[in-house]
């Protein structure tokens, strides 16, 4: 099977075929590489309606998770999500060709083009710079999975698996006062709700960091509106450096905010101890999680 690549476009004004290249897919029979250009995606905020831009960001993030990093999202509470068949679709040139022909919404895949090169990081970098964005280093840094979440998944998840929900989405079916579905790393309940979420203080753009914090605030407020005034909400992360004054101010505010308890990603044993001490159980029933994924 030959190597092929496909350019992913964001459709700005489909009526006049106005679009912007924002991501690249490169694959052969054994390997897939997919990354987007964060700076180009951010620039579209001013060119698209807010609802369309928000949906576009979700679509790109989902592609990042399900194509570029399928393994970390494969493990969930007491079961495995069948992501592998979905990922392998993108190994099939015919599937990408189908997307190129029939995708006419926010994202469009170009017709796959064969090249006589193996799939390597070097080949991807050259194609990315040619067709997507010259600033590959920024895209590479932002595409690198957070060290904090990797540490949490490696060190904390095995300890608490089976006692809480891992990488699950809280919806208004679970929490009636919640406006939008909110994905969290850890969710449980004893006498009150308990949530733990990793926030990348040292890597997020300011508006993205604000959005992450506001989602957690909205989640806490929804629990309070539901009558749970003493919920336990852990924010896991790293102290941002002095070179990131905005991110550092948000981090300091989190530490002073009584709603949250900040936990360094090197001290997550505190969360494990809380779960054991308070006999925390899953917040979301297994049946509800299965239904959500199905």
Q: Identify each DSSP E strand in 88-181 by its residue range.
A: 107-109, 113-115, 165-170
Q: Is the pLDDT of residue 196 over 90?
A: yes
CA distance 278 to 189: 9
CA distance 52 to 46: 11
Q: Is the pLDDT of residue 137 over 60?
A: no
Q: Report yes or no: 220 and 265 within 8 Å, Cβ to Cβ.
A: no
Average pLDDT over residues 139-148: 56
Percentage of the residues of the chain whose pLDDT score is greater than 70: 77
Q: Is the pLDDT of residue 82 over 50?
A: no
Task: Give residue 271's Cα distance to chain centre.
Answer: 22
Domain residue ranges in the chain: 3-143, 147-293
Question: 85-96: per-residue pLDDT in tens?
Answer: 444 455 555 555
pLDDT, greater one: 208 or 172: 172
Q: What pTM did the predictor assign? A: 0.54
Cα–Cα nearest to 184, from 227, 149, 231? 149
The total of other beta-carbon atoms located within 10 Å of residue 80's CB is 9
The set of residues, in sequence order, having a beta carbon less than 8 Å from that of 163 and lying 6+ positions away, is 188, 275, 276, 280, 281, 282
Residue 100 pLDDT grade (very low, low, confident, very high; cuts 50, 70, 90): very low
**Tokens in use for 124?**
């991807």
Average pLDDT over residues 238-253: 87
């Amino acid at each position: 099977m030959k190597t092929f690549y496909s350019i992913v476009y964001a459709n700005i004004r489909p009526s006049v075929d106005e679009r912007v290249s924002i991501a690249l897919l490169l694959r052969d029979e054994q390997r897939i590489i997919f990354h987007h250009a964060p700076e180009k995606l951010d620039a579209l905020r001013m060119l698209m309606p807010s609802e369309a831009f928000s949906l576009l960001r979700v679509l790109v993030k989902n592609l990042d998770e399900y194509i570029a990093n399928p393994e970390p999202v494969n493990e969930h509470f007491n079961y495995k999500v069948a992501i592998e068949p979905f990922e392998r679709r993108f190994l099939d040139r015919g599937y990408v060709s189908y997307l190129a022909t029939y995708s006419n919404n926010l994202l469009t895949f170009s017709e796959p083009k064969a090249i006589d090169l193996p799939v390597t990081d070097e080949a991807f970098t050259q194609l990315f710079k040619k067709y997507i964005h010259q600033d590959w280093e920024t895209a590479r840094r932002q595409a690198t999975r957070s060290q904090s979440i990797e540490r949490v998944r490696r060190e904390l998840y095995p300890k608490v698996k089976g006692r809480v929900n891992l990488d699950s989405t809280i919806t208004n079916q679970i929490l009636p006062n919640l406006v939008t579905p909110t994905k969290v790393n850890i969710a449980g309940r004893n006498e009150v709700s308990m949530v733990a979420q990793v926030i990348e203080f040292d890597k997020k753009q300011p508006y993205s960091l604000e959005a992450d914090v506001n989602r957690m605030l909205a989640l806490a407020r929804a629990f309070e509106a539901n009558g749970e005034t003493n919920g336990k909400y852990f924010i896991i992360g790293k102290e941002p450096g002095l070179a990131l004054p905005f991110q550092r101010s948000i981090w300091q505010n989190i530490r002073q905010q009584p709603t949250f308890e900040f936990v360094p990603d090197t001290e997550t044993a505190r969360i494990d101890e809380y779960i054991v001490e308070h006999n925390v159980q899953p917040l979301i029933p297994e049946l509800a999680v299965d239904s959500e994924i199905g």
